[in-house]
Amino acid sequence: MAVITGYGVVSAVGRGVPALWDAMAKGHDGIASIERFDTTAVGVGVAGMVPDRNMPTDDPAWRVCVEHGIAAAREAWEHAGLDRVPRDRIAFVFGTSIGDRKVGIQVVTDAIADALGVAGPRLAVSTACTSSTNAIGFGLDLLELGVADAVIAGGSDALSPLVVAGFTALGVLTPGKCAPFSEPVGTTLGEGAGFVVLERQGRGFALCGYGLSADAYHDTSPDPTGGGVARGIRAALMHAGVANDEIDYINAHGTGTAQNDPAEWRAIQHVFGARAEALPVSSSKSFVGHAQGAAGAVETIATLVAMAHDAIPQTQHFTVPRPHGPRDPVGQATARAARCETAVSTSSAFGGANCALVIARRDRARKRLRRPVALVGCGAIGAHGTRLADIGARGRVPAFALRDIVPSADPRGLDPCTRYLLAAVGLALVDAGLRIKGDVRDRSGIVLGVTMQSPESDDALYRTIAERGYRGLSAPLFARQVLNAPAGTCAKVFGLRGAHSTVCAGPATGLVALVYAAELLASHTDCEHIVAAGVDELATDATDNASEGAACSVLAATDGAVRVVGWHIAGPGQLAVACERARAMAAVDAIDLVVGPRGDIDPTAIVGATPAFASALAVVIAAQQIRSGAARTVLVQQPGATAADCAIVLTRGVTHAS
């Protein structure tokens, strides 16, 4: 549990929290004509644009995204009074779906973090429309882990012609103002930023817990039964230690599309049963639009600010209800006066990711049960091929038949990044002797470490735009723009319907994915297995010296032959701190071997400085060393340049004779 000691927001209804409350109290929305760029040859021309940036500019979208982010984060900082906290004890967790491959996500993360002066870990979560919701949850995990004393978590996104064109192509936009749960069907895009400050004590509402899940259904359509959303909400309630009947308000994802709204309602009915009929369920997208990666944070803050005024947010533009939707959608122009004690805020994304947060008025200090974590299998595909014993080569992944490794996967339309990930996960599951089947699917998840979308898919998408204009962009390729796309495909193929996330942390990306997976297993009891992987794909014009590949470890909430006993993430330039804290958590006597740059075995010397693959491979190498008896306890360390320095400790476990 954490206290939300501050929050800040930039949205379609203006800058700052007071503007947001003003709009909710008075019934204004921020949907307007897009003026920043010409939409005639692109798509639908209205969105929830941040008003004082809705004019033509030379700034690329990522710079606007940075600007929104800095503004919102500063407001949160001031609100919390973070000047009192040492900078290296402040972490920044940033959710975004900005996907400018030339710039890279870390540049955007750093730009905001540097403006704030954050010297603790600076991490990104990129899971499309759940990015900032997930970032807030991840922030909670990091706070409880002791990585920081204050975490600024949330997200930012700025609209671009590409996003407008993509959503237009998918046919999910309404030409006017969206009316979630009502008519007309369709969503309205938006942009903005929102951040919360999480601390262990202080004054403010409580973030009690959060949950993650995957639909494992389709690239862009949600599971119509709402199964994925339901799993996410249940996981959040479980993590928060809150019962169903304590929830008195739900801030829904509520995009207004034909597919999301009924599925989401079904999920709410599944989780809350008969109580669902009386539960107020509203969608803030009705007044700020769909701020994409920033949506979760902006909407959570709308909930917080309404709660602070003894109100709950409304669903604007609600007229006639659709055949399947909430009985009480708070369908009115202004916020409703209502005392809400405990709320759920939920988001869903392309690729099938879902994330739910539980917020409460009063804190409820709970001792979390921490569970052991073991590495039960691993696999890697790279220039060496697929056999772990052959690891040592550098360069491109040689041609391989995915069918030989994952017989059930149809290779049609899979980009290299996705094929490598499927192969590595397939190999790791076989190595673990693990069949994901039956109910185990609901408790098996994936955390992917990746720093960009597939170069092949990205290039192919821009080729279609060059040939046919924005109106002719390829919808299937647009769907591959979100960084969690390979994870979404993986979840579908292997039935991984549990916790689901995608993280970026510069050169430490792969290792941070492992740490996140370990932390989820240790502290979220809905998780039983998580495959943690890092994947890098080379662009077709990359130099011969560079490498690509994917490495995966299957972690489980058990004891085992290889135990994961300690982990830590520290700020840039603090590798020693990360290692020392990981060792302390592990409570081991001696480290026999160090894997990582400046260690006994350096994966970057083997496969090159690949941000996700090398550090994920480091864990695979460490596990192999323990299994072969060459070492008892191994420290894996990875400096992460401007992002974070990371360390994890593995040790030989005692396997019980069965």
Q: Which stretch binds other proteins (CB under 8 A): 98-106, 254-262, 330-338, 365-373?
A: 254-262
Between 258 and 338, CB nearer to other proteins: 258
Q: Give the C-alpha separation, 390 to 535, whole Å.
A: 18
Q: Is 543 one of the binding residues for other proteins (CB under 8 A)?
A: no
Between 224 and 372, CB nearer to other proteins: 224
For 73, 93, 208, the CA distances from 79, given in Å and listed in that order, are 10, 18, 20
- 568 labelled catalytic: no
Q: Which stretch binds other proteins (CB under 8 A): 192-200, 462-470, 627-635, 642-650?
A: 462-470
How is 508-545 classified by DSSP, letter by letter?
A: THHHHHHHHHHHHHHH-TT-SEEEEEEEE---TT--TT
Q: Is 413 one of the binding residues for other proteins (CB under 8 A)?
A: yes
Among residues 448, 359, 356, 350, the alpha carbon closest in space to that of 133 is found at: 356
Q: Which amino acid is present at 296?
A: G
Out of 327, 337, 411, 540, which residue is the one contacting other proteins (CB under 8 A)? 411
| 609-628 footprint of other proteins as x/- string (CB under 8 A) | --------------------
Q: Is 277 one of the binding residues for other proteins (CB under 8 A)?
A: no
Between 266 and 529, CB nearer to other proteins: 266
- Which residues fall within 8 angstroms of residue 605, CB to CB, at 6 or more apart? none
Out of 223, 264, 519, 536, which residue is the one contacting other proteins (CB under 8 A)? 223
Between 497 and 652, CB nearer to other proteins: 497
Helix axes 416-432, 455-468, angle to 10 degrees: 150
Between 191 and 223, CB nearer to other proteins: 223
Between 109 and 474, CB nearer to other proteins: 474
Q: Is 629 one of the binding residues for other proteins (CB under 8 A)?
A: no
Considering the complex, what minimum distance in angstroms separates the CB of residue 219 from other proteins?
6
Considering the complex, what minimum distance in angstroms separates the CB of residue 221 from other proteins?
7
Q: Give the C-alpha separation, 180 to 256, whole Å.
A: 4
Encoded tokens for 165 = 């064109």
Q: Is 396 one of the binding residues for other proteins (CB under 8 A)?
A: no
Q: Which stretch binds other proteins (CB under 8 A): 119-127, 367-375, 467-475, 540-548?
A: 467-475
Q: Is 475 one of the binding residues for other proteins (CB under 8 A)?
A: yes
Burial class (CB in 10 A: 0-12, 13-18, 19+), 558: middle
The total of other beta-carbon atoms located within 10 Å of residue 408's CB is 9
Between 23 and 487, CB nearer to other proteins: 487
Contact (Cβ atoms closer than 8 angstroms) between residue 100 and residue 60 = yes
Q: Is 16 one of the binding residues for other proteins (CB under 8 A)?
A: no
The total of other beta-carbon atoms located within 10 Å of residue 111's CB is 17
Considering the complex, what minimum distance in angstroms separates the CB of residue 216 from other proteins?
9
Q: Is 468 one of the binding residues for other proteins (CB under 8 A)?
A: yes
Between 81 and 413, CB nearer to other proteins: 413
Catalytic entry in 79, 290, 384, 568: 290
Q: Is 256 one of the binding residues for other proteins (CB under 8 A)?
A: no
Q: Which amino acid is present at 154?
A: G
Q: Which of residues 257-276 bind other proteins (CB under 8 A)?
A: 258-259, 262, 266
Q: Is 476 one of the binding residues for other proteins (CB under 8 A)?
A: yes
CB environment 569-601: b (16+ within 10 A), e (fewer) = bbbbebbebbbebbbebbebeebbbbbbbebeb
Out of 45, 51, 202, 224, which residue is the one contacting other proteins (CB under 8 A)? 224
- Which residues fall within 8 angstroms of residue 345, CB to CB, at 6 or more apart? 133, 250, 251, 296, 299, 300, 303, 356, 357, 359
Q: Which stretch binds other proteins (CB under 8 A): 211-219, 545-553, 600-608, 614-622?
A: 211-219
Out of 106, 132, 187, 220, which residue is the one contacting other proteins (CB under 8 A)? 220
Q: Which stretch binds other proteins (CB under 8 A): 187-195, 272-280, 418-426, 473-481?
A: 473-481
Q: Is 645 one of the binding residues for other proteins (CB under 8 A)?
A: no
Catalytic entry in 68, 253, 500, 524: 253
Between 51 and 476, CB nearer to other proteins: 476
Between 274 and 654, CB nearer to other proteins: 274
Between 341 and 467, CB nearer to other proteins: 467
Catalytic entry in 129, 208, 355, 646: 129
Encoded tokens for 574 = 């603090």
Q: Is 200 one of the binding residues for other proteins (CB under 8 A)?
A: no
For 306, 371, 617, 648, the CA distances from 654, given in Å and listed in that order, are 52, 16, 24, 19
Considering the complex, what minimum distance in angstroms separates the CB of residue 583 from other proteins?
41
Contact (Cβ atoms closer than 8 angstroms) between residue 348 and residue 226 = no
Q: Which stretch binds other proteins (CB under 8 A): 143-151, 155-163, 492-500, 518-526?
A: 492-500
Q: Give the C-alpha separation, 73 to 75, whole Å.
A: 5
Q: Which of residues 323-362 bind other proteins (CB under 8 A)?
A: 323-324
Q: Which stretch binds other proteins (CB under 8 A): 91-99, 218-226, 274-282, 643-651?
A: 218-226
Contact (Cβ atoms closer than 8 angstroms) between residue 46 and residue 32 = yes
Q: Give the C-alpha separation, 118 to 134, whole Å.
A: 20
Q: Is 169 one of the binding residues for other proteins (CB under 8 A)?
A: yes
Q: Which of residues 284-323 bind other proteins (CB under 8 A)?
A: 322-323
Q: Which amino acid is present at 563?
A: R
SS3 content of the chain, % helix, strand, coil (to 5): 40, 25, 40
Residue 193 host element (H or E)? strand 192-199
Encoded tokens for 335 = 């916020």
Q: Give the C-alpha separation, 640 to 617, whole Å.
A: 15
Q: Give the C-alpha separation, 191 to 292, whole Å.
A: 7
**What is the sign of the dihedral through the CA atoms of 272, 274, 276 and 279?**
negative
Between 133 and 453, CB nearer to other proteins: 453
Encoded tokens for 459 = 């290039």
**Beta strand ranges found along 557-621 (DSSP E):** 562-570, 593-595
Considering the complex, what minimum distance in angstroms separates the CB of residue 538 from other proteins?
20
Contact (Cβ atoms closer than 8 angstroms) between residue 417 and residue 535 = yes
Q: Is 412 one of the binding residues for other proteins (CB under 8 A)?
A: yes
Out of 83, 319, 407, 629, which residue is the one contacting other proteins (CB under 8 A)? 407
Q: Is 492 one of the binding residues for other proteins (CB under 8 A)?
A: yes
Q: Which of residues 493-512 bind other proteins (CB under 8 A)?
A: 493-495
**What does the binding site for other proteins look like in residue numbers (CB under 8 A)?**
169-171, 217-221, 223-225, 227, 258-259, 262, 266, 322-324, 403, 407-413, 435, 437-438, 464, 467-468, 471-476, 479, 492-495
Supply the residues annotated as catalytic: 129, 253, 290
